Chains A and B, each alone.
Chain A
Amino acid sequence: MRTRLYYRAKKTAINILIHAFLISVAVTCLFPLLWMVSSSLKTQQTIFKDMSFIPHGFHFENYYLAWQQGGFGRYFLNSIFYTVSVVSGIVIVASLAAYAFSRLRFPGKNVLFFIFMAAMMIPVPGSFVPLYVLLNKLHLRDTAFGYILCMINVGLSMSIFLLKTFFDKLPRELEDAARIDGSSKFGVWWHVAMPLARPVLAVVVVFNALNVWNEYVLAMIIFDTKSLMPLQRALMVFQGEFLTNYPLLMAGLTITALPIILVYMLMQKYIVKGISSGAVLS
């Protein structure tokens, strides 16, 4: 006969195991972040000699220097602008298309979807040059608009794929109910499908925000004007051709990582428990 104590003990043991597992993985994830921050507080001479996590001298001025020398102010704002624009653009454009692929019917639907999917599988590493020439012809080279459109395209296939998979899983009853109530297709999309898809929309937002935030090469090729450059340009200042200013670079990288961690923290709460019945009742 198994006593209640046995079950309680078993549950606690399992919980402890699970926590041990989670903590050990968490430590390996935290390690580089802590190293990055602690390195940013050291000096160029001590950064590779002083192996401890807690630096012997706290050089907080590295952050100020990094901000100054990198010219972070302008580039930071640019990156925020690009990220917000591209992510909003993708959320709207991709979810519209994904909804159509999932729920609507029109001739050529499967072919079109296949083409979008194929784009994920064919890397075009040489595409920077034709994009450049293309933007040139459209007079969009060296403009924010041109860059934003290019970046929307970069995240499109993957986002459509993610969204369609989740739209497919949604129970149709809610949408049918809305249609019966007289809502248009756009209305169903906006009022029913999108709210339900919040978890996956959060993933799409985070994924694309990260891509745009860290993007560098395309921006450098398209933009001639320094005042249009994104954040990564600032980091390049510390990576000299021969000499890398490691502490300032680490400070710069920390500054760069913070906003995206913030975005993730904000989006995280949308990945909440399934809402199906809850949505119908409200």
Chain B
Amino acid sequence: MKRNSPVLTTALLLLLLITAGCGQKISGKPSNTITVWHWMTDRDPAFQELAKRYEARTGVRVNFELYAPSDAYSQKVRAAAQGNNLPDIFGLLGEKRDFASFIKAGHILDLTPYMQDSGGAWQKRFFAKALAVNEFSSDNAYGITPGIYGVPVDIMTIQMLYNKDLFRKLGINPDRPPATFAEFLEIGRKIKDNNMQGLVSGWGEIWMIDCLANDYAFNIMGKDKILDTIRGKVPYTDPDWVRVFTLFKQMQDSGALASGIVTMVNKNAEQLFANERAVFAFNGSWCLNVYKEMNPNLNYAPMLPPKASDKFPMSIWGGAGSSFIVNARSKNKEGAVKFLEWLTDRDQQVYLAEATDNLPSNKDSLSNIAPIMAEFANDMEITTHPNTWGISEYPQVIEAFDKGIQSIIIGEKTPEQVAAQVEMVKEREMAR
């Protein structure tokens, strides 16, 4: 008897596991259900509420499934794509290049016919820039049939912000943020003299460095030259690019940047700005929600990055915040499209904006939102976003670019060295 007990226990255990496995199988979902996968933890309660309203209205059940954090979500989507198990509606994070690959792999429904229906009623609702992120234009370098493939649910802009109370402390007029780069550097020196901290931003996460660098690139050389650089016609060692790199060195030397910014995670940066430990911040419009939660008395306002040149206008990153796309293999395509149409209608957009402090993608919803949100939204006109340029830079070049700027800030490399380095990586990638 005793001899058999280990065998018995093992057998019992296996039996237990098998029954557990069988017991958890889910019966098929009714076909009148739409499943949506997303990563937006902050907005999940609002989405659930909207799903309830939709069901009350139409009898169609919408399941919002949250998978967070965002890179776990991306992994799940890619794994599901491999297994052809994508839900009816989902969002895609990442570069336009990946978006294009998903389309080529047949996972994404072309929404152009729906958008252009009834004289383009649906299309006209949105900020043009928000839609552009989800669009492929006729001369795109990805080989995708031109059209609209996604629906923006909100917009966002990346702005520079400043703390009005700290401005007063420094003796600067809080209603007149610096308009030129020279003024900005002056304020930097004042900050240093007063032992305060300057600009905070999540530059440990490198893409935010890219934002600001791009803003200044637009200001200094204009969009066409930037696109030519990506196409390989202009080298990164061009004096205009070196000028962009030098701006960061000047910011660091003058004291305009907070210490430790190169390893700062954005959430830390938000914390510091919310707790009034930094004079400036460079952050996205989602910060409205964060600052409200952490410090409702924070007296701040957005400002454009101070101009470094008068040749071209300043531009800021912005466009679609989050977008949803429809699975081309979904069994309920029409239902999914209808839901997205409803979701981006004015009333729902206003609700979302109020509930989550994110800027609506529907142009007509602006009149009902908080004034500071409106201030952010007003800058939509001058936004740009790499996903709208029709061509992408090599990721290795972007990495070298951003890490290079980090090196400049910590004083390890000069702007010229970084320019040469980035150009070298670029040439290597182009030769591949």
Tell me the A residues contacting B by CB distance below 8 Å: 44-45, 48-49, 81, 85, 88-89, 92, 128-129, 132-133, 136, 140-146, 148, 183-184, 186-187, 189-191, 216-217, 220-221, 224-226, 228, 236-237, 239-244
Contacts and interface: CB of A to CB of B under 8 A. Distances in A.
B21 A145 contact: yes
B65 A224 contact: yes
B89 to A, nearest CB: 14
10 contacts: A85-B16, A89-B13, A142-B26, A183-B3, A190-B5, A224-B65, A225-B24, A241-B69, A241-B286, A242-B286
B403 to A, nearest CB: 21
B83 A141 contact: yes
Given A49-B275, A217-B75, A140 B21 contact: yes
Contacts of B145: none
Interface stretch (B34-42, B218-226, B382-390, B423-431): B34-42
B173 interface: no
Contacts of B31: none
B82 interface: yes
Interface stretch (B54-62, B123-131, B288-296, B362-370): B288-296
Nearest to B296: A45
Interface in B175-204: none
Contact of B18 (A142, A145, A242): A145
A32 B228 CA distance: 51
Interface of B: 2-3, 5-7, 9-10, 13, 16-18, 20-22, 24-26, 39-44, 65-70, 72, 75-76, 78-80, 82-83, 85, 267, 270-271, 275, 284, 286-287, 289-290, 293-295
Contacts of B286: 241-242
B68 A129 contact: no
A141 B267 CA distance: 35
A192 to B, nearest CB: 12
Given A186-B3, A216-B72, A243 B65 contact: no
Given A129-B82, A136-B83, A242 B287 contact: yes
Contacts of A242: 42, 270, 284, 286-287, 289-290
Contacts of A184: 3
Contact of B7 (A133, A141, A186, A236): A186
B76 A225 contact: no
B41 A237 contact: yes
A239 B41 contact: yes
The B interface, classified by DSSP as helix, strand, loop or mixed, is helix
Nearest to B272: A48
Contacts of A143: 21, 24-25
Contacts of B290: 242-243
A220 B71 CA distance: 11
Nearest to B38: A241
B2 A187 contact: yes
A195 to B, nearest CB: 12
A220 B20 CA distance: 19
Contacts of A244: 267
A88 B267 CA distance: 40
Given A190-B6, A242-B42, 7 more contacts: A44-B294, A141-B85, A143-B21, A145-B20, A184-B3, A186-B6, A217-B75
Contacts of B82: 129, 132-133
A187 B3 CA distance: 5
B76 A45 contact: no
Given A92-B9, A190-B6, A128 B79 contact: yes
Contacts of B78: 129
A239 to B, nearest CB: 6
